[in-house]
Amino acid sequence: MNKKETKIPSDVLAVFGYNVEATRVKQNTDGLINATFFIEGKDSKIVLQKINQSVFKDAASIQLNYEKVFNYIQQNAKGFLLPRPVFTRQGSSYFVDKKGDFWRGFYFIENSKVKHFINNAADAYAVAALFGRLLKVLNGFPAEELHETIPGFHNLHLRYQQFTAALKDGVVQRVDAATQLTAALQKRRHYAALYDKIVREKDKFPLRVLHHDAKAANVLFNKKNDEVFCAVDFDTLMPGYFFSDFGDMVRTLACSTGEEETDLSTIFINREYFEALLKGYLHETKNILTDSERSLLIYSGHLLIYMQCLRFATDYLLGDIYYKTSYTGQNLNRAMNQLTLLGSLEKLVPELNAGIWK
Ligand code: GN1
Ligand code: MG
């Protein structure tokens, strides 16, 4: 999918309480799925987003999930900061415009900034503790009450099937150009088998509420003291398994460089950050996770990086229908980047106990 500039219709601004003349609009180009804007009016600032409805087929379910969880946290974990949704004049947390586009907003958190990369282990610890706390504060929330905003989102079995189907039905030249990548992915099928085992053993691996996009760019830091403020982007908040958030943190915080890097020789897992993530996450979750979850936690990164690699590879094979791209071959490069990262993690955390993959 090619990146496109999006304009905000004036009725959308109006419904969220902004007057076109008195409002400053700036587009944020981060993010591979939704269109994001900073809106600054006379007395308030919000982040307004147009939800990608080919990815989120039932966009309202995102808002319903978020409202439930937001209210639950307000009542049960007051000090845990979350972005406050903006309600329209009609009292809804979203608006569907004449074209059918789906809009929603959050109040901007003053003095906040995003770090696409962290530069010390203390940040890794703090971000992991934040997502650990999220798991902890939602431990009593009934996971089954949440919609699966993207069905099968972190279902590695399904992601492997989609990849296999793309090898069969994908663009022929692309299938031919990616043989090195696809062979490496097929060789690592055991990660999908580990996922199957996790799903089968329901008592050992209970369904939980996870963020499902626990990456560096989805955390706000305080500009003044550099401390972690809160997590953002809860669109994929839904029922899932223990490995998702920790795995995405390994993928995006313990890596030497970002997923757009094409010089593969610069991509590796930083051991110090990996260990800090583990300490930070366990500090908050050790009394919540089951013994089985705790013992597999160090393989979360393997599962998530493998899944991300399958997803980029699948999108490349199918002709770039899901992720935004700005050049041909970008999804192939992203997949090669993730495969390299996975190779580095496999060296750092080898399969200590080969039995776990069975
Ligand atoms: C997408 O929307 P964004 O950029 O936060 C994707 C994640 C991927 C990520 C890779 C709904 O996240 O799952 O890990 O790109 N979100 C969706 O950068 O597919
Ligand atoms: Mg996201």
Ligand 1 near 259 CB (within 6 A): yes
Task: Name the residue at shortest CA distance from atom 7 of ligand 1.
Answer: 213
Ligand 1 near 149 CB (within 6 A): no
Tokens representing 177?
């150009």
Instruction: Return d(Cα 202, Cα 127) in angstroms, integer.
Output: 28
Task: Name the residue at shortest CA distance from atom 9 of ligand 1.
Answer: 32
- The candidate with the shortest Cα–Cα distance to 216, out of 255, 187, 189, 188, is 255
Ligand 1 near 32 CB (within 6 A): yes
Q: What is the pLDDT of residues 154-184, one digit of tens each?
A: 999 999 999 999 999 999 999 999 999 999 9
Residue 41 CB burial class (10 angstroms; 0-12, 13-18, ≥19)? middle
Percentage of the chain beyond pLDDT 90 is 86
Q: SS3 for 240? A: strand
8, 37 in Cβ contact below 8 A?
yes
Give the count of alpha carbons within 13 A of 42, CB side only. Answer: 6
- For residue 31, the ligand 1 atom closest to its alpha carbon is 4
- pLDDT at residue 21 above 80? no
Tokens representing 174?
């692309």
Average pLDDT of the segment spanning 43-68 = 96
Can you give the pLDDT at residue 2? 47
Average pLDDT of the segment spanning 97-114 = 96
Tokens representing 18?
């902004």
Which ligand places an atom closest to the C-alpha of 53? 1
Q: Name 132's Cβ contacts closer than 8 Å, sequence gap at least 6.
A: 280, 281, 282, 283, 284, 285
Share the mean pLDDT of the chain: 94
Q: What is the pLDDT of residues 128-153, one digit of tens each?
A: 999 999 999 999 999 999 999 999 99
Can you give the pLDDT at residue 355? 54
- For residue 52, the ligand 1 atom closest to its alpha carbon is 11
Question: Distance, CA 312 to ligand 2 centroid (Å)?
Answer: 15
Q: What is the pLDDT of residues 169-225, one digit of tens each?
A: 999 999 999 999 999 999 999 999 999 999 999 999 999 999 999 998 899 999 999
